[in-house]
Structure 1
């Protein structure tokens, strides 16, 4: 099934590339502009119509818990209203035989500061140990490499209200308050002073701030647009969970930080450094702690583990191998100048080093899920050779240092890469 999905994505990417390459120079200017806008919308994961944009993120996905996950999402666009918006999706997992959905909407409070108040109700799954920054821009991939192999999810029913606000185009923020019912899909118990929680309620507030001091923006008739993507960028997020407020079961807090720095011309040789860290204090269940972006499935041989490399994941780290309540990761990528083989065929080599360190207080509280500690520091290095055919390439990564495994083959990750830009 995974191979069939992969084949469909290959066909989709080839069709999109063909559409771009076939844009004729003799087209009328207006038709060309409309066509480019349509392709750009597809690249962002939307199929645009007059009043609604259909969300392509929900069409077809695959993971180890749901199997094939398929559905459809949609949101209103500016032609519908510039002051109000609505969004929804409905998906179905064929392995767990369950529908998931979300309903949401928002209204604009201030046009000058792009301030919005949003509300939503969501019944879906979330990967255990994952953290998402509220201020992250929407990111669309034809398929998500890590998702194929994730098996540790928890169900959540979440009601939230949020506030988006731009202090300036360089400083954006989002704050939300949410209440969630959490039900792990795996055998897990959070042992807190002798009381074991197999499912629980979380009432929490979260605020995030993103600062892009070196990016440049300009005002257009369609609003403020970014004209230069400057580096470094900084994101800071704080989460506080409250016990006994709207049935919340635990008190805990989290502080997350990320910085991205790029050196050089992105069209030639350049380097990219990403630093991510997080710390959690209080009574935090495993669902809300940290993994270190693993992307290696637990199989015996290298070929059995052959899959697709992620963008910022540890390719040799096995899923569910480590969890932490405090951690930091450092990733360095150096992109060599693309090989100029022909006008349209320009493969590119990327040299990669990743490092992670972390630890956990009271690991015995988390029952039913065995895991290790990152206190000794985890290291892997390798390379990618991208855009060999239809956006696909190859990657090789090797695990060494304190967590080097006895069997040489268990330290190696050999995978596809996938890079398509519209």
Structure 2
């Protein structure tokens, strides 16, 4: 199947590159810029349909190699109607996953869309995403390589996106999910031990960018220049007995990003993320602190790829919380101009996490620690040494320092490429 996907990808590239002859030089230049912009966002464009490169090939510890195809119709197809989705296959778990969705634009000026979707896929346990987060694409996702704790979910959702003000974007969603952990786990809810759950969830999210600049386009307001700080607030409510939902709980999540920029490559970035869950919350919907360290005996066995905002010395599934806050400070210095092609960059990083769990005994057949003593790590990155690759060294210290010195060290690749 990998060979077939490579053939399809090559065929599409050939058609896009040679299937249309440019009429003039300026048009050719415009088309090339548009193509590079789409590619940088993770799309391979054709006339009516943009293929989504995020689904082409990935790897994780549960599925092994995960490969497939996905994409969305573009504006040449319709400016007010979109069809999008994907189909993927995991070789290790021998399962197909898919998603199908449609979106209808109601008001171009406020970029108001209604969305309907059906998804049958996996999700990392303890992960939280904000509805208003924009699309993010990496050539490969470093953390994904080592994740092994997933839950299956079949989710039907209805959502509305709306640009409330020029600097305020909102999204509201209602979803119904059937959830089954892929690992041995039971949640004790009022004396009943459950291994499968139904969750009906209502969410609303606000993203405020008070210092960003926006222009009105045919697609609504578009951010043309990022300003900082940026704030995101999201409230989630699970509704018990609505469409046979098992749990009644609420969550509130907050994220703030501040960036002090001297030049594009010379900046200081501060990121604060927090979450609070209250009620009957299974492990699937609690919080981890985005760990990125695999449980292996030696440093070299743990050698992998560093993430962008993950805790590199924190082991996967080591901590879970129902309330937490993380703080990250990143100082990126101006690249060293050794030659036109060799410009390594030094980055200093400090991360801190604090959290707790009220009733850990309700989570059965799984063990984990809390973060109530405060978790600290600091590190150094030397990026863009060769073809976008670099090296990182991170050290774990403080209350959760481990007895063996080597277990507190993470040595990894970094990967930074931009189009």
How many residues matched?
401
Gap regions ≥5 residues in structure 1: 20-26
2:279 to 273, 282, 290: 282
- Report the Cα offset of residue 223 of structure 1: 4.9
Q: Partners of 1:420 and 1:271 in 2: how far apart?
A: 19
Q: 1:345-389: per-residue Cα shift (whole Å, max 9, x none)? A: 211110000000000011000001100010000000011011111
For residues 244 and 227 of structure 1, the distance between their equivalents in structure 2, rounded to whole angstroms, comes to: 44
Q: Tell me the CA shift for residue 33 of structure 1.
A: 1.5
Equivalent of 1:126 in 123, 128, 134? 123
The correspondence of residues 303-318 of structure 1 with structure 2, limited to 5 A, is 303-318=300-315
* 2:37 pairs with 1:40: yes
User: How far apart, CA to CA, are the structure 2 residues paired with 1:321 and 1:239?
Assistant: 25
TM-score norm. by structure 1 comes to 0.93
Q: Which residue of 2 aligns with 1:248?
A: 245
Q: Which consecutive unaligned segments of at least 5 residues does structure 2 have?
A: 18-23
Q: Distance in 1 between matches of 2:318 and 2:363?
A: 14
Dislocated runs of 4+, deviation >4 Å: 220-223
Q: Go from structure 1 to structure 2 and tell me whether the alpha carbon gap of 1:268 and 1:200 turns closer, same or farther (over 3 Å shift).
A: closer
Q: 1:211 aligns with which of 182, 195, 208?
A: 208
For residues 225 and 125 of structure 1, what CA distance do their matches in structure 2 show? 31
User: Which of 91-100 and 211-220 deviates more?
Assistant: 211-220
Q: CA deviation at 1:264?
A: 2.2
CA deviation profile, 1:108-150 (whole Å, cap 9, x unmatched): 1111110000000000000000000000000000000000000
What SS is found at the alignment partner of 1:38? Answer: helix
* Secondary structure of residue in 1 paired with 2:51: strand
Partners in 2 of 1:286 and 1:223 — Cα distance?
38
Q: What are the residue-to-residue correspondences of 1:68-107 with 2, within 5 Å?
A: 68-107=65-104
2:52 corresponds to which of 55, 71, 74: 55
Q: Is the 8 A contact 2:103 2:115 kept in 1?
A: yes
Inter-partner Cα distance in structure 2 for 1:222 and 1:283? 40
2:134 corresponds in structure 1 to: 137
- 1:114 matched to which residue of 2? 111
Match of residue 291 from structure 2:
294
Where do residues 149-228 of structure 1 align in structure 2 (5 Å cutoff)? 149-220=146-217, 223-228=220-225
* CA distances 1:240-267 after superposition (whole Å, capped 9, x unpaired): 0011010000000000000000012242
Confirm or deny that 1:329 pairs with 2:326.
Answer: yes
Q: 2:391 aligns with which of 394, 397, 405?
A: 394
Report if the CA contact (8 A) 2:287-2:320 is conserved: yes
Distance 1:268 1:155, change over 3 A: closer
SS in structure 2 at match of 1:265: strand
Please, what is the CA RMSD of the aligned residues? 1.6
Q: 1:167, CA displacement in angstroms?
A: 1.1
Q: TM-score, normalised by structure 2?
A: 0.93
SS in 2 for 1:132: coil
Aligned residues of 2:214 and 2:223 also touching (Cα < 8 A): yes
Q: Helix, strand or coil for the counterpart of 2:243?
A: coil
Q: 1:409 aligns with which of 406, 409, 417?
A: 406
